Amino acid sequence: MSAYYVNLVAINPKREELRTPPVRVLVDTGSELSWLPAEALAAIGLTPRRQRVFHTADGKTIQRDVGYGILAAENFETNDEIVFAQPSDCHLLGVRTLEGFGVTVDPLAHKLVATSTLAASGLPLR
């Protein structure tokens, strides 16, 4: 599979007119969370809520701030946790955001494809 990029926008859920400029991000189904530049997130009023520890592909352990916001790309939108990426970090669209969008990744056509969402069967619980 070749690298696939989309433009991702973060939106302040308390003031939806506050949006980051589109950020070119790598679609990364190996990353749990989406990563956007910390400066861009702060500029729209998003604040870190906690820190998380991450293990990088090259075996390093790093700690980053994480906050909450709305993410949008290619006419899909969801609320999610967002990593406040530092200047040396990659900008990523992670699998939780993809799941929130309700999409799968078409690696050949390089696009996000809407899917149906599984629901409970409706059978009564015992």
Question: Residue 10 and residue 81: Cα distance in Å, rounded?
Answer: 11
Is there a contact between 36 and 25 (Cβ–Cβ < 8 Å)? yes
For residue 49, being part of any structural domain is answered with yes
Which CATH number is 29's domain given? 2.40.70.10
List of the chain residues with pLDDT < 70: 1, 120-126
- 46 occurs within a structural domain: yes
- Distance (Å, whole) CA 103 – CA 95: 10
**Do the domain assignments include residue 119?**
no
How many independent structural domains does the chain possess? 1
The pTM assigned to this predicted structure is 0.90
Establish if 124 belongs to a structural domain.
Answer: no
Q: Which two tokens stand for residue 89?
A: 């970090």
Q: Is residue 126 assigned to a domain?
A: no
Structure tokens at 52: 């998380």
Residue 120 within any structural domain of the chain: no
CA dist 91 → 30, 57, 67, 125 (Å): 13, 14, 15, 43
User: For strand 5-11 and strand 23-27, is the pairing parallel, antiparallel, or unpaired?
Assistant: antiparallel
121 within domain boundaries: no
pLDDT, residue 122, reads 65
Q: Is residue 95 part of a domain?
A: yes
Question: Containing domain of residue 49, as a range?
Answer: 5-114
